[in-house]
């Protein structure tokens, strides 16, 4: 009887939910420089990630929340920020394996949330970096 009960308990135990496996980065580690200042408190991002929605979206993850840049706007802790300054320079792309990369600068003043960040996210390869550099140089040249 005890053996049967033990077998029933083992068979009915909760299985841990399978966690999705993130894609393997194809390049070097991410580079994150700068800080976000929220109401006078400086917060350093610890990671960044790039996702594709209708456009590429970059997120700077901090211990106090996530800053999200997409469609020329910033979202901090799930709240769209009204910015008086949002300077940015960026480029990115998607790979055939479904991963994405983003490199850029964000310099912003949005009420009590300000910051200046330099982000290389998604493991940018030397080939991708060369293409981003060429695109940046081309955009700086005068248009005919």
Answer yes or no: are the C-beta atoms of 36 and 106 closer than 8 Å.
no
Q: Determine the pLDDT at residue 24.
A: 45
Q: Determine the pLDDT at residue 2.
A: 52
Q: Determine the pLDDT at residue 64.
A: 94
Q: Determine the pLDDT at residue 143.
A: 55
**Quick one: CA dihedral 69, 89, 121, 21, positive or negative?**
positive
87 token code pair: 């300077």
Q: Provide the whole-model pTM.
A: 0.74
Ranges of residues in the chain with a pLDDT under 50 are 3-25
Q: Determine the pLDDT at residue 29.
A: 85
Answer yes or no: are the C-beta atoms of 136 and 103 closer than 8 Å.
no
- Spatial CA neighbour of 76 closest among 33, 109, 119: 109
């Amino acid at each position: 009887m005890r053996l049967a009960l033990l077998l029933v308990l083992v068979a009915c135990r909760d299985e841990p939910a399978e966690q999705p496996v993130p894609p393997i980065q194809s390049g070097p580690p991410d580079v994150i420089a700068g800080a976000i200042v929220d109401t006078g408190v400086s917060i350093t991002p610890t990671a960044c990630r790039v996702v594709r929605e209708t456009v590429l979206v970059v997120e700077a993850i901090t211990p106090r929340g996530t800053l999200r840049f997409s469609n020329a706007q910033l979202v901090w802790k799930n709240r769209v920020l009204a910015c008086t300054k949002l300077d940015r320079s960026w480029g990115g792309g998607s790979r055939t394996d479904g991963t994405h990369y983003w490199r850029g600068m964000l310099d912003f003043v949005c009420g009590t949330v300000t910051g200046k960040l330099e982000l290389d996210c998604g493991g940018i390869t030397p080939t991708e970096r060369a293409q981003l550099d060429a695109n940046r140089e081309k955009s700086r040249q005068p248009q005919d």
